[in-house]
Structure 1
Amino acid sequence: MDYRQLFTDFKGTESDLIPILQKTQDRLGYISPEATKEISRFLKLSENQIFGVASFYSQFRFTPPGRNSIKICMGTACHVKGGQILCETVERNLGISPGQTTADQKFDFHRVACLGCCALAPVVQINDDIYSQINVTKLQEILKKYE
């Protein structure tokens, strides 16, 4: 990746950090170790400072994403209606824990605080698709569609 081109819209000040992280993730899909080094050089901040800021925000990831991103809502309504069981189903079926990507890069999996669909609980989001009132059987069928 040509980082000089990526940084052309920025002045190289500390206030550019979050926009640079966002632009980097948009291009790569995640914040790679190489990207962290290049951002560090450009902004004259330590790699630890870059990681400290990026790891504070849930929008940034440090591993390559899967082709399909699974988000299980764990907000109050979804949790009460079976969100944890849905998480366990994904873990069992795909062999990954929240925050991980399958070895074949087909799926990544995240527990999220709220997807904003409380009346439809429990809710699962895969890529841009929202699935409501999900149970274990429905989730297993949905996952097969994405394989």
Structure 2
Amino acid sequence: MSATVNTDNWPAIKAAAEAALPAKVVEFIASLKGQTHAESHLIAILHMVQAENGWLSPETMEAVAQLAQIPLAKVTGVATFYHYFRLQPRGKHMINVCLGTACYVKGADKISQRLMDNLGIAFGETTKDGMFSLESTRCLGTCGLAPVVMIDDQVHGPVTPGEVGLILEKYLKKDKVKA
């Protein structure tokens, strides 16, 4: 982090950036001022933002760049390089399809395709209504139940392609009852 840039509108830019980020992230960035190689904390800053917001929006990446005085291209480059960072919001329900050996051999590819068809999304995407995000994972450690799908923290298995719609409907009904 270099010295604060002197521009005519810095107070407004700083205020907007602070408003776009959680208070603890703003405080953390402020605590780095004056440290040698403070920009080396960029990944930690992005982790904090994602932990609070669930994803890294263009606005929050711009705010990090402004407050930390790191070029936006570097912030965006780090966020897009590491697979861990999410650049779109997650759905209310996170679906993970196990593609480990046991699950794959027992039809996880068919389960995956049925989920994609039913939801209208691919791995790494979120439904337009914000209800579901779809991810793949290498192993959930429940090989005896293969093939398995984990939704939020609930493991479903063994799952057949024909059960996919019923499982999704269960979550949609549960949300309607809560509403």
Equivalent-residue separation in structure 2 for 1:54 and 1:105 (angstroms) = 22
Distance 1:2 1:32, change over 3 A: closer
Q: RMSD in angstroms over aligned alpha carbons?
A: 1.9
- Residues 95, 133 of structure 2: 8 Å contact kept: yes
Picking from 6, 9, 21, the partner of 2:28 is 9
- Which amino acid in 1 is paired with 2:81? F
Residue aligning to 1:143? 168
Equivalent-residue separation in structure 2 for 1:46 and 1:70 (angstroms) = 35
> How far did residue 31 of structure 1 move?
0.3
- Residues 120, 127 of structure 2: 8 Å contact kept: yes
Deviations 1:27-79 (A, max 9, x none): 21110001111112233333232233223333321111111111111122221
Which runs of structure 2 are paired with 1:1-147 in the superposition (5 Å)?
1-3=19-21, 5=23, 6-10=25-29, 11=32, 13-147=38-172
Higher alpha-carbon deviation: 19-28 or 100-109: 19-28
Equivalent-residue separation in structure 1 for 2:115 and 2:153 (angstroms) = 18
> How far did residue 126 of structure 1 move?
0.7
Greater helix content: 2
Give 3-state SS (helix, strand or coil) of 2:127's partner: coil
Equivalent-residue separation in structure 1 for 2:57 and 2:158 (angstroms) = 36
Give unpaired runs (5+ residues) of structure 2.
Answer: 1-18, 173-179
Question: Which structure is higher in RCO with an 8 Å CA cutoff and minimum separation 6?
Answer: 1
TM-score (norm 1): 0.87
Equivalent-residue separation in structure 2 for 1:7 and 1:113 (angstroms) = 35
> How far did residue 124 of structure 1 move?
0.8
Equivalent-residue separation in structure 2 for 1:58 and 1:121 (angstroms) = 26
Runs of 4+ in 1 over 4 A off after TM superposition: none
TM-score (norm 2): 0.73
Deviations 1:90-132 (A, max 9, x none): 1111111111111111111112222233333212111111112
- Residues 20, 59 of structure 2: 8 Å contact kept: no
> How far did residue 144 of structure 1 move?
0.6
Give unpaired runs (5+ residues) of structure 1.
Answer: none
- Taking only the aligned residue pairs, the percentage that are identical comes to 36
Alignment length (residue pairs): 147
